[in-house]
Structure 1
Amino acid sequence: MTGNIEGYDLIGDVHGCGATLAALLEKLGYHQRGGVYRHPRRKAIFLGDLIDRGPRIRLAVSIARRMVEAGEAFIVMGNHEVNALAYTRRCKPGSSCEWLREHTPRHNRIVQETLEQYRDHPAEWEDTLAWFMDIPLLLERDGLRVVHACWDAPLINQFLSRYPQARIDEAFLHESAVPDSFAYRVLERLTRGTHIPLPEGVRIHSGDGFTRRTFRAHFWADSPRTYGDVIFQPDNLPGDLEDRPLSEKERARLTYYGPDEPPLFIGHYWCEGIPALPAPNIACVDYSAVKYGRLVAYRWDGEQVLSADKFVWVRVPRDEQTRPRPWEIDLD
């Protein structure tokens, strides 16, 4: 490990569960000093998606940002940070669009809680958006890899050849609004993963209230043959679609992360239940915290073969009265 670090604690999608994040950090042995959660021998790594949906978004961002800026943590960008950046930026004059992420009812709903919680703090929101631009899309250090949704090595190598620090800029963000551009492909694959379109007329009515025309596919199946071989989401496929063969075109959309690759940590996929490993060298740490699931961390100590025994989590309480109050975790 670099320096005196004994290991890393990789923390999944917080989605505004700021009080629960504080509780998880305390459980992991991080304690506040000088307004920053610190551990004497470990560093945290946040997997992105700090914002949207949850009750204490500003607190979640503040905890993570202070840790990162103090050198106590690292972070990669999630699709919700990307969404916020695009949602708040107008297209260039003469473009066919008004916003890089159009203000549709669906997009408005996703970002609604974040905008409401920052409404009385406009300068803080602008500063937060500026900080998002400093967050890298991926991290590789001390033998582990971190990305929000999908590690696509050829695409990552292309990206790093242009952006060695793995950070995007304004030009990249504007380019990403153009479908099938290089920037679009990078942000889609790394922060959203691979989506396979459902057959014509088939829809998934998701538990979060959205209707979807695609399903999320993972990237660690060797020679997948059917939809069921690659689906990775809490919503089941309708009917017998899991047995439907993947077409050549659909297989071409997939990337593959083999068992001999370094340990990889991802978020994004709304896993449920007791944390488990999808592959011996891959851990997903998104366990639907904001849907009253678990806010999960993996305590990595350098092992190449991961172990489900290394997961640590805090349940997110349904009862508002059981939530820690803001003043109990005041950072000022």
Structure 2
Amino acid sequence: MKSQGYDLIGDVHGCALSLRMLLARMGYRQINGVYRHADRKVIFIGDIIDRGPHIREALHIVRDMVDAGQAEIVMGNHEYNYLCYMTPDPDRPGEFLREHTPRHQRILQQTLEQLSPWPDEQREYMDWFLQLPLFLEFDHFRVVHACWHQGLIDRFRQQYGGNQITHDFLCRSAIEDSFEWEIMDRLLRGTHLRLPNNEVMVSKDGFRRRFFRTKFWTPDPQYLVDVVFQPDPLPPHLARLPITERQRKDLIYYGPQEKPLFIGHYWREGVPRPVTDNIACIDFSAVKYGKLVAYRLDDETRIDPDKFVWVDVAREVHLPQSEIGAS
């Protein structure tokens, strides 16, 4: 008997029209308001919200599919950020788990504006986000938003059971360097290193960053350029610096013997292709006129370059630039 086929979809970020086109391209049809396929199921990699023009519509599509058993989903860092931004801090009256700074508001602005006319829905989505699993593991593949850290996942399963958090866990995750903070940081944001010498890098989207995102599949990296994994390159004078022993302790390694892993989060560009034989990143910057990408998984144990499918937003959707939210 053939096993269940899965279509893994990358970061949607409010691109509901692109999502409808991608689902239709893969043979999903709306029946009684829900996208369905005769013998396949979608897995969303998280980050349904923020930045894009049709966040509420995207949420309805995704949640309706999940509720009908036509899809599964893992939490993204943007759902987590929204939860923290909207949740009062029990230890600091009048404050929230995520500070209401201009930078944090800028990232969430489109979601806040688009959901504010529907306060009941806002509360429902808050409850739903809290229930989203942090990771999914199947017989022959794994799914997480940014990084599979086996040690942290094992400890989470031992301490909390399953793959979901609670309100108390959410509150503890706002305490920097706690176990709860560490697992949310690693699984939803990935591994990263601080820029040497207290340097600051201004990214393409205008943010000042003191850290850069790193690969977790390089077996023996020697220089910083060997591990950087983000659209913005490191400044040349930093790229060739050797990795120190202290920095090496912050890197992890997902080896080729591990199950195929599907992640989003990293704003890739160009033609979708595997990161390694057993890792696929399917976030290709849909909301920045990139591509909304899916990978059509069957029984294979290695990532097949021919099984990516996508909607090219710049060529096929043509959203007005004014509709794209701040990054």
Residue in structure 1 matching 2:53, options 40, 52, 55: 55
Residue in structure 2 matching 1:9, options 7, 14, 33: 7
Instruction: Name the SS of the counterpart of 1:165 in structure 2.
Output: coil
5 Å-filtered alignment, 1:11-26, equals: 11-26=9-24
Cα distance, 1:278 vs structure 2 = 1.2
Instruction: Please list the CA deviations of residues 145-204 of structure 1 after superposition, one character each: whole Å capped at 9, or x if unmatched.
Output: 000000000110000112322100011100011111010000000000011000224222
Cα distance, 1:5 vs structure 2 = 4.9
Confirm whether residue 320 of structure 1 aligns to residue 284 of structure 2. Answer: no
Confirm whether residue 188 of structure 1 aligns to residue 150 of structure 2. Answer: no
Partner residue, 2:325: none
Partner residue, 2:324: none
Bigger mean CA offset, 192-201 vs 100-109: 192-201
Confirm whether residue 29 of structure 1 aligns to residue 35 of structure 2. Answer: no
Bigger mean CA offset, 308-317 vs 8-17: 308-317
Instruction: Name the SS of the counterpart of 1:44 in structure 2.
Output: strand
5 Å-filtered alignment, 1:136-215, equals: 136-215=133-212
* Contact map agreement 1:277 1:308 (CA 8 A) in 2: yes
Aligned-residue CA RMSD (Å): 1.6
Partner residue, 1:112: 109
Q: Between the two proteins, what is the percent identity of the paired residues?
A: 54
Instruction: Please list the CA deviations of residues 120-142 of structure 1 after superposition, one character each: whole Å capped at 9, or x if unmatched.
Output: 11111110111001100000113
Distance in 2, matches of 1:180 and 1:200, equals: 22
Distance in 1, matches of 2:52 and 2:99, equals: 22
Cα distance, 1:54 vs structure 2 = 0.2
Confirm whether residue 78 of structure 1 aligns to residue 76 of structure 2. Answer: yes
Residue in structure 1 matching 2:230, options 225, 230, 233: 233
Distance in 2, matches of 1:142 and 1:295, equals: 26
Instruction: Please list the CA deviations of residues 226-270 of structure 1 after superposition, one character each: whole Å capped at 9, or x if unmatched.
Output: 111111101010123221111111110011100000000000000
Confirm whether residue 292 of structure 1 aligns to residue 275 of structure 2. Answer: no
Distance in 1, matches of 2:130 and 2:320, equals: 36
Cα distance, 1:271 vs structure 2 = 0.4
* Contact map agreement 2:196 2:238 (CA 8 A) in 1: no
Residue in structure 1 matching 2:62, options 61, 64, 76: 64
Cα distance, 1:79 vs structure 2 = 0.3
> How many residue pairs are counted as aligned between the two chains?
319
Cα distance, 1:218 vs structure 2 = 1.3
Question: Residue type of the partner of 1:302?
Answer: D
Distance in 1, matches of 2:186 and 2:214, equals: 11
Q: Structure 1 regions of 5+ residues with no counterpart? A: 323-332
Cα distance, 1:276 vs structure 2 = 1.5
* Contact map agreement 2:10 2:46 (CA 8 A) in 1: yes
* Contact map agreement 1:204 1:235 (CA 8 A) in 2: no
* Contact map agreement 2:3 2:298 (CA 8 A) in 1: no
What is the TM-score with the length of structure 1 in the denominator?
Answer: 0.93
Instruction: Name the SS of the counterpart of 2:143 in structure 1.
Output: strand
* Contact map agreement 2:282 2:294 (CA 8 A) in 1: yes
Instruction: Please list the CA deviations of residues 37-94 of structure 1 after superposition, one character each: whole Å capped at 9, or x if unmatched.
Output: 001010000000000000000111111111111110110000000000000011114x
What is the TM-score with the length of structure 2 in the denominator?
Answer: 0.94
5 Å-filtered alignment, 1:258-269, equals: 258-269=255-266
Bigger mean CA offset, 202-211 vs 46-55: 202-211
Question: Residue type of the partner of 2:86?
Answer: T
Bigger mean CA offset, 182-191 vs 198-207: 198-207
Distance in 1, matches of 2:148 and 2:122, equals: 30
Residue in structure 1 matching 2:269, options 272, 277, 282: 272
Q: 1:225 to 1:96 in 2, by over 3 A?
A: farther
Distance in 2, matches of 1:147 and 1:132, equals: 15
